[in-house]
Structure formats: structure tokens, C-alpha cells
Structure 1
């Protein structure tokens, strides 16, 4: 099948049709251009449209060609509008993605700062004493494993009069020397326990700990004489206890 032969268009008609199509394209481009777009070149000048009397004077075949050119220009304008809309949507999506990434980064930095502040606060917080030490103290003040610590322990458990009796017994027995040894009997420690291993009932460190020896001595005086003053009264009558 042979292609239809286009009608011969005079030069005057072609010029008019071209002017109409160009005017349509330029007008549409100005309509679809973004509001914030800045032209790179000089501002386009308005195109002088051919008068309707000139178009009315053209033959029908020539008018069909002009109509076809106008339809082509309208289609190109629609394509431009669609491309502009897609570009605007893409730009908005990119801006939203960048804003979301910025918020996520700020949230991460804030979380790291909170974690660092919590760690620093916990490092400055004083450590709680071990539970075993609290249960062993039974509400009494802490004492060091020295003779003065043993004396402080005795004062915290006895009245002033009872502590004076205990101190008198210990002073006569060992002179407050927790390593004192009786050369004849082998009695040992502050209270001259005989044998010294008796004090193991108060702790395995009875040889070196005045505190352990004091705990044993307090228990011994209460069990055997009722109190330190009972032990001191017996000592004064017998020279031993």
C-alpha cells in the first residue's frame, strides 16, 4: 500500500503554520515552567500570532496541516508538563529522604550522649558494701583488725562499767598484746586462752586477729562468769580466771 501524498503547501501557508505552532509551544512552556525556575538566557519575546483573517483565507488542506502542527505542539507541551511534574516529585522525595536521614543521625547522637552520661554517673556512684560485711556487722560500727578495733568492738557491745572490767582482765593477762604467749602453759592471745586453738570457734584467723580474739573473749566471759565484771571479780580473788 503506497503512502498518501501530502498536498503541496505554499511557502506563505507553511510560514503561517510554523508561526502558530511555535507560538503554541512557547506559550505552553511558559505555563508549565516552575515558579522558582530562573531562565538561563534573555527573557523570550512574545511571538506575533498570525491574524485569523489570514488563517481563514487558507485552503482546507492547508488548514489541516496547521491543525496537525497545533496538535503536535499541544502534545509536546503536555509531555513537558509531565516531565516537570516528575522532576518536582523526585526533588521532593530526595528532600524528604535527606531530612529523615538527618533526624536519624541526630537521634543516634542524642542516644550516645545519654549513654555516656549514664556511664559517667554510675562510675561516680559509690559502691555498696558487700552483703557479707553488712550481715557480719549486725548493725555495729565497722572495726579494723587491730587492737584498737577490738577495743572499739567491745565498747560497742558493753556498758562503760562492763568494758572497764574486761579491760582490767585483758591488761593483767596479756597487756593488750594479741600475740602474747605464756611460756609455761602456752596460753595465747589477749585473753590467754588455753589452749589458744579454743578461739578457732570465733574465726580461723584467731592467731593474728585481735577482733576474732575479742569476739571469743566476750563469749567466754558471758558463758562462764555471766559478764566481764563477773570474770574480773573471780580474777581478783584467784589471780586467774
Structure 2
């Protein structure tokens, strides 16, 4: 009969198997008669096993297989727990990413709705203003020639964050006074254009119409800095823009 093939054991498993083997050998040594004990009775060189005795090789083989089975079960349990923990962590990451993306989309939609409302309000304000004849338009400022009209005009053309930067810039330059004049340099208007006549490129009513000044100021900021926030950042660092 060929010997059964045993599974390959790790170093730790070999140590445990060796300990079991040593324990078995010690047990067999206690049960086996002393080699040097004298006995006048005739001996049989062949070992005799009683019905209740099990060969040592079978005991060791069974213990070995039981140990390997236990270790394999423990290893499988650990691997299963690791896979479960990894799956739960991945699910949490996906949920967090989905939540962040949903919040970002909601924020964008809210900003778009706010911009749309500002544009509708600006158009409504413009539509509500009475129309004047061509002569009246040449001799008198339009009804939209107010600071509030200039504010609405600016808000309808940029995000709320950019408008806040623009508002801070104009507040520092003129305090939102369209007729503010610098006594030393002669700078004039909401944006303190120097000279003020620069604003004639946006309209001949640049002296009295805040909206005309706003059109010129937005054009100037875009050509020189790109955005109102970039202009405001420059002003904060230098005290002018």
C-alpha cells in the first residue's frame, strides 16, 4: 500500500506538527515496557496491539489532517472577513463620491437659477421704463440712468461671486457715486476713470449715466484683468487697479 500524500505545511504548521509528534512519542514511551527490563516469560518480537490501541502513525496522520483543516478554515474565514471589509469600504467611498457630485450639481443649478432670475429682473426693469423720443434720448438721460440700474446691469452679466468682487472694487473707488470726482487727479465716476472722458467710448452721457459708466468699467476690466475678481485681487495688493 502506498503512503498517503500529505499537504505542504508552512513553518508554523511544521512546528505544531513536531510538537504533536513529540507528545505522541512520549506517550508511547510511557506505555512501552523498558528495553532493559528482564522478563523470564517468552517474548514475541512482533508488537501486539490490543483491540483498543491505535497505531501511532494513524494518530499522527489524523492529528496532522485535523490541524491542516483547522488552519485552512481559519485562513478562509480571515480572507472572507477581509473581502467583506474591503467591499464595505468601497461602497462607502462610492456613496461619498455620489453625494459630493450631487451637492456640486445642486449648487450649479442654484447658481444658474439665480443668474436667470437676475437676467429676468434686469429685462423687466428695462421693459418697464418709458420709451422716449429720439430728441428726448439725446437731451435727457434714460430712466435706467441710475446706480440701481447699473447694479442690475452688472449682475445680469456675471456670477454672484464675480459681482461681489465688482461691488467691493466700486465701493473702494467711488462708494457707488457716479459723480464722484478726485480733486487731485480728476478721476471721475463709478470706476474713477482717468481722465473721465475715456468713458465717452461707452456713450456720450458718461458724466450722468451710471449704466454707461458700468458698461465702460466692465469693458476696461475685461480687457485689462479678465474678471472682476482678478481686478479686485490686484487692487487689494496695490491700492489701485
User: TM-score, length-normalised on structure 2?
Assistant: 0.42
Q: Which has the larger radius of gyration?
A: 1
Give the TM-score of the pair, scaled to structure 1.
Answer: 0.42
